[in-house]
Chain A
Amino acid sequence: MTLTDLANPSRFLSLATRILPWLAAATALLLAIGLYLSATAPDDYQQGATVKIMFIHVPNAWLSMFVWGVMSVAALGTLVWRHPLADVAQKTAAPIGAAFTFLALVTGSLWGRPMWGTYWQWDARLTSVLILFLMYLGLMALWRAVDDPSRAARAAAVLTLVGAINIPIIKFSVDWWNTLHQPASVFRMGGSTLDRAFLIPLLVMAVGFTLLFLTLHIAAMRNEILRRRVRTLQMLQASKPRAAA
């Protein structure tokens, strides 16, 4: 790493350290408000109290896609500008995105059981989220499998960008595929027709979860930068055994 390269991560570190407490506080506040609003929200006339699952399910589902978008931007940063921060952003977003996707899947199936009578259905949306989850896991496996981080970053970037094209295609193809075999009996609720009593808690929760992602991501990026410094120093130590002793 050259001096100019180090400069940016260093500036990022100091910036992160300054804004992280504020971000964390804002996240906690919004999530608390959101939790209160969702606890006091009325029951849906059709779904009863289970509508409460929506307030956590939908933000997680949105974030699962949003995080892939963040990774795609970072991937461009890796490939086009070769910015070391982009590598770090890519790597640290993957596990967080996988966690959100996992939550979307689990809360979805927990909602599906009372609503549809089954935890799992090979429905278009569900299936494409499952594939998204698998792709997150594949990406994480890739990061773990390669010990040279810049090499892993470049491979992961190519895969992330190809995945960004592929996921909408999967969504669309699965949509089509489903109409083949199953009657469209799946319960759906249009976002636009949502009552204000549900809409406001949902939006508050969504913003809260987005802030949560930002907080976690910045903190994880800070850890990763430190980890790379440790690595560099260890390598220095290994290459000069006498100087270190």
Chain B
Amino acid sequence: MTPLGPYASFIVTSYALVAAVIAVLIGWVMVDYRRQKARLHDLEASGVTRRSGRSAAKIS
């Protein structure tokens, strides 16, 4: 790794920012997935089913 020179703070900030935003995106996607699955399971547990008769929470 080469030294970053006088503008190290700018470089580090931009990499850190990109990492942070990507982390937020990944976190959002994963949390959202868990939440939707949980809600589907709750709904199925309470006896609501889709018209097709298949389980809504089952994906594959």
* A-contact 0/1 string along B5-44, CB 8 Å cutoff: 1111011011101100110111001101100110110011
Taking CB atoms, residues of chain B closer than 8 Å to A111 are: 10, 14
Taking CB atoms, residues of chain B closer than 8 Å to A17 are: 59-60
Taking CB atoms, residues of chain B closer than 8 Å to A60 are: 18
Q: Are A223 and B40 in contact (CB under 8 A)?
A: no
Nearest chain A CB to B57 CB, angstrom units? 8
Taking CB atoms, residues of chain A closer than 8 Å to B2 are: 39-43, 49
Q: Which of the four size classes fits the interface of chain B? A: 35 or more
Residue of A nearest to B22 (CB): A212
A–B complex contacts, Cβ < 8 Å, 10 sampled? A3-B52, A10-B54, A43-B2, A106-B14, A216-B26, A219-B29, A222-B33, A223-B36, A233-B43, A233-B50
Interface residues of chain A, those whose CB is within 8 Å of chain B, are: 3, 6, 10, 13-14, 17-18, 39-43, 48-50, 52-53, 56-57, 60, 96, 99, 102-103, 106-107, 110-111, 113-114, 212, 216, 219-220, 222-223, 226-227, 229-230, 232-234, 236-237, 243-244
